[in-house]
Amino acid sequence: MIHTETAYDVVVVGSGGGGLRAAIGAAQAGARTLVVCRGKANRSGATLLAGANISADIACDGATLSRLGISHSNKDDTPDTWFRDVVREGFYLNNQDLVRLFVDTAGDRLEELLQWGLTVRGMEGEREVSVFGSDILDALYGRAKTLGVEFLPDTLFTDLLQKDGQVTGVVCVDLASGALKAIPAGAVVLCTGGAHNLFSENSGSTDLCGEGQAAAFRAGAELVDMEMISFCPTVTRFPTMYKGNILPYIFITTGYGSLLNKYGKTFTHRYLSPKVEQLALDSEWNKMLLSYAIQSEILSGRGAKDGGVYFSLPSHPAEIMEELYRDLPPLTTGIYADIMKIFAAGRSLTVQPAAHYFEGGIRVAPDMSTALPGLFAAGECAGGLFGANRVSAATTEMLVEGAAAGRSAAAFAQGAAAPVVDSAALDQLEEELLRPFGRTGGPAPHELKRRLHEITGSSLTVIRREEELKKALAGLKELEAQLPLVSFTDRNRTYNRQWREYLELRNMLPCAWAITRSALLRRESRGVHVRSDCPQTDNSRCLYNIVLSHRGGVETLVPAVLTHTKPRDGVWRYTEYIEQVVEELDGEEVRP
C-alpha cells in the first residue's frame, strides 16, 4: 500500500544546487517546502562533483564581478555581451528568453551566495569565479535551513501524482524501510540532474538516471532537444580502478598535459583548424571540440589499446611538477596523489569522451513552468538554455533556474486548490512499482542495464549515424518489452539494490529512447550533436527544437526561440560553421 503523507505547498525533488536554490525561492515566498533527497540532504546530486572539488566555477559578467570587488580584469563586459556569447556558443538553438534570464540574474545569485557565506577561491577566466561544489551546497543548505525548509533524505523519487491534468504531488520510496509514500503538493519542482548512467562511460554520480525527465515525460510534460549531450573529452578509462575520474580533464582545462594516439603523436590538428584547436585547448570549448577530435581519432584506428587515447603528463623538468602542485594543491592527497604516482613512474592514463552534461531535458518556459500545470523544472534536467553546446557554467544555470522555479512554484501553489490524491491511480502505480517482487524466472535488472549500456555505447557516442541509431531504437524496444518481466532474487524491500536498478531502468529506457529518436530526427551536425552521415550545419532547414510528448507519441519540430538575435541563413560543413561561430565570438567580420 502507498501511504499518503502530509501535504506541502511545494515539493522539490533533488538536493543539489538547483534543488536547494528552488527550495529557498519557494520558502522565501511563504510556501511550506519539502526537499526529497536521494541521499544526504547537502551531499547528494551532481553539484558535489562540480570541478571534483579542485576547480569548479560560477560564471557572471565582468561588470558585475567588478561591482562585487571580485575581479576588475573584464569590467567592460556586460550581460548583453555575455548573452550574445551564450547564444553563439549554443549554435543559436538556445531558448533566448531563458538565456536572457540567465545573464540578467546571475549576478544576483552570486551576490546572495557571498552573503550566505560562499568562499571565493580565485578566478578561472574572465567570467568564472573559482569555488568548490561543496562550498555551494553548504551555503545553500544553511540558508534553506534558516528559512524552515524540510528535508526527506534517503528517499527515491519514482513518479508524479496527477488529478484532472494537474500535478498534485509525488510518489517516493523510503530506501531504509522500502515503504512507498505519496506526498501531496500544490506544486512540484524537479531538480534531478542529468541522465549520465544511461552510459557506462560517464563523469556523473551514480544517482543520475534521468528520473525527473522520465517521470515528467510519463506524466505528459514535453522533452526538448534530448539529442544534445556534451561529453567530457578526457575521462579516465584505464587503469580501471580510476575509471570515470575527471582529473585529466582538470589538467587539460588548466593547461597541463598532452593527448597522444597509439603512436605517441598529437592528433587534434587533423580535425581542427589552428584557431579552433587553440580554442579547444585553452577554453571551455574543450568539451565539444576535443571530444570530436578524440572520437574521430579512435574511429580512425589510431586509438590506444585500451580503447581511448593516451593522456601524458611530462614530469621533467622538475619545475613543471612544482608549478602543477602549486596551482592544484589537492593533488597531494587521496586518490589524486595515487594517480600522480602513475605519472611520476613515466606512465600515462587512457582517457576517452564520457557523457558529461545534458543540454536537452524537460521543456520549460522562462518562469520554469512546464506543459503540465503545477510542474516546474530547473537545472540540468530542464532543457533549452544552452542550445546545442554548453560553454558557460552549469552551476550558474542551477542557481538562476532554481530561484525562478521555486518562486514560480510557490505562486502557483498559493493560487491552487488543496491537492487531491487519486486513489485509483495510486493502486495502479503500486502494482507497477512492486511487480517484480511477485515474479520469478524473469531477467535480472542488471542484465537489462548491461544491454542498455551496449546500445548507448555503440549508438549514442560523440559521432552518430542513422544505421546505428535505428538499431538502437530496435534494441530499446526489446528492452522495454522485457522490463515488465523483471524478477528479483532478493525479496526484502530494505535497501534492495535490484529494486533500485529496476526503478532506475523505468527512467533510463524512456530517456534513452528520447535521445535516440531526437538524434535520428535531427538530420544535421550542430554543436555537440554530430552525424557522420549528415555532416552539415543547416540554418535554412534545421534551426528548430525537437519536442517530444508522450501523450499521443507526438514529435514536433518547433522553430528555435530567436527573440533577440538570429544567425545567418545557409548551410555549412560542420567544422566550417564552427569557424564562423569562433569568428563571431572574436568580433571578426564573418566571411560570406
Residue 201's SS3 state is: coil
List CB contacts of 318: < 8 A, sequence separation 6 or more: none
d(CA 211, CA 213): 6
Select the more confidently predicted residue: 40 or 17. Answer: 17
Structural contact between residues 261 and 267, judged by C-beta atoms closer than 8 angstroms: yes
Q: Is 238 left (phi over 0), alpha (psi -120 to 50) or beta?
A: beta
List CB contacts of 521: < 8 A, sequence separation 6 or more: 227, 546, 555, 557
The pLDDT assigned to 215 comes to 98
Q: How confident is the model at residue 1 (pLDDT cuts 50, 70, 90)?
A: confident
Give the distance from CA 262 to its chain's centroid.
Answer: 31
CA distances in angstroms from 537 to 296, 464, 522, 592, listed in the order given: 18, 15, 10, 15
> What's the mean pLDDT in 372-383?
98
The pLDDT assigned to 330 comes to 85
> What topology does CATH give the domain 3-228+359-423?
FAD/NAD(P)-binding domain (3.50.50)
- Looking at residue 324, its amino acid is L
Q: What cell was used for 13?
A: 525533488
Please check the confidence at residue 204 and state whether its pLDDT lies above 90: no
Q: How confident is the model at residue 375 (pLDDT cuts 50, 70, 90)?
A: very high
- Pick the closest to residue 86 from 581, 482, 589 (CA basis): 581
d(CA 237, CA 245): 8
- Range among 303-312, 326-335, 396-405 with highest mean pLDDT value: 396-405
The radius of gyration computed from the CA coordinates of the chain, to the nearest angstrom, equals 23
The sign of the torsion formed by the CA atoms of 516, 521, 526, 532 equals: positive
Please check the confidence at residue 592 and state whether its pLDDT lies above 60: no
> What topology does CATH give the domain 428-521?
Methane Monooxygenase Hydroxylase; Chain G, domain 1 (1.20.58)
> How many CA within 13 A on the CB side of residue 217?
31
CA distances in angstroms from 498 to 68, 210, 440, 488, listed in the order given: 50, 18, 13, 6
The pLDDT assigned to 151 comes to 97
Look up cell 545569485; give the residue: 109
Parallel, antiparallel, or unpaired for β 180-190 and 3-4? parallel
Neighbours of 334 (CB within 10 A): 9
Q: What angle do CA 355, 357, 361 make, to 5 degrees?
A: 115
| Cα-based torsion angle of the residue sequence 274, 250, 393, 357 in order, rounded to the nearest 10 degrees | 90
- CATH code reported for the domain at 232-353: 3.90.700
Residue 172's SS3 state is: strand
Please check the confidence at residue 590 and state whether its pLDDT lies above 50: no
- Looking at residue 282, its amino acid is D
The pLDDT assigned to 157 comes to 97
Question: In degrees rounded to 5, what are phi and psi of residue 175?
Answer: -65, -30
> What's the mean pLDDT in 287-299?
96
Q: How confident is the model at residue 49 (pLDDT cuts 50, 70, 90)?
A: low
> What's the mean pLDDT in 372-380?
97
- Looking at residue 255, its amino acid is G
d(CA 296, CA 302): 9
The pLDDT assigned to 591 comes to 38
The pLDDT assigned to 367 comes to 98
pTM metric for this prediction? 0.95
Please check the confidence at residue 265 and state whether its pLDDT lies above 80: yes
> What's the mean pLDDT in 324-350?
91
Burial of 309 (0-12, 13-18, 19+ CB in 10 A): buried
* Domain residue ranges of the chain, discontinuous segments joined by +: 3-228+359-423, 232-353, 428-521
Indicate if 428-521 has the same CATH topology as 232-353.
no
d(CA 441, CA 482): 12
Please check the confidence at residue 552 and state whether its pLDDT lies above 90: no
Please check the confidence at residue 56 and state whether its pLDDT lies above 90: no
Structural contact between residues 33 and 407, judged by C-beta atoms closer than 8 angstroms: no
The pLDDT assigned to 488 comes to 93
